[in-house]
Amino acid sequence: RQLPQITQRLQMTLDKLAAPGKARSPMGSLTDWWAGLKRRGAEDFVEFAEALLPQQVTIPVEVFDGVADNLLQNAFEKRKAEPRLGIRVSLSLSGGKTRFTVCDDGTAIPEVVAGRLFVGPVPSSNGLGIGLYQVASLASQYGYRLGLSSNANGQVCFELSQV
């Protein structure tokens, strides 16, 4: 069910490789993106907070897709070790700035790992640990910041926000 999005992202990546520095993420409707994310996550037992969003807000779709996919995939991997893990996704607009958050109610990320997130690859048992670094770098190119907004047992939250 996610094949069309994966195909589109792969094509954007190939376009960037063919003409580095020229390709920009296409802008799209925030409300359309949110509706699509909710459809994709509905079968994965993810709770989506309702968001009242104005129709005219646009976002760099590639950035939001990359961040959402990475954060949700990480949460699903965490759910394998913590089967009762709850995942909550929210989106808000305040002061003209967009904020996208993915939280889980599992165990906190060890401080030694949390301090290395977003600044370089962080090897893990299920991958190279480069995903968060890549999407954080991409987000910063578009005026967004990806960070760990809460890291406590029962409240682990990642947030993408405009700077």
* 90 to 16, 44, 52, 68, 115: CA distances (angstroms): 30, 15, 11, 11, 24
What three-state secondary structure class fits 151? strand
What's the residue count for the chain?
163
Amino acid at 85: L
Residues 6+ positions from 113 with CB-CB distance below 8 Å? 122
Indicate whether 4 pLDDT > 80.
no
DSSP state at residue 56? T
d(CA 119, CA 133): 6
pLDDT in tens, 13-60: 666 556 555 556 689 999 999 999 998 887 788 999 987 888 789 999
Looking at residue 19, what is its pLDDT?
Answer: 59
Half-sphere exposure of 36 (CA within 13 A, CB side): 15
d(CA 146, CA 131): 12
Looking at residue 40, what is its pLDDT?
Answer: 84
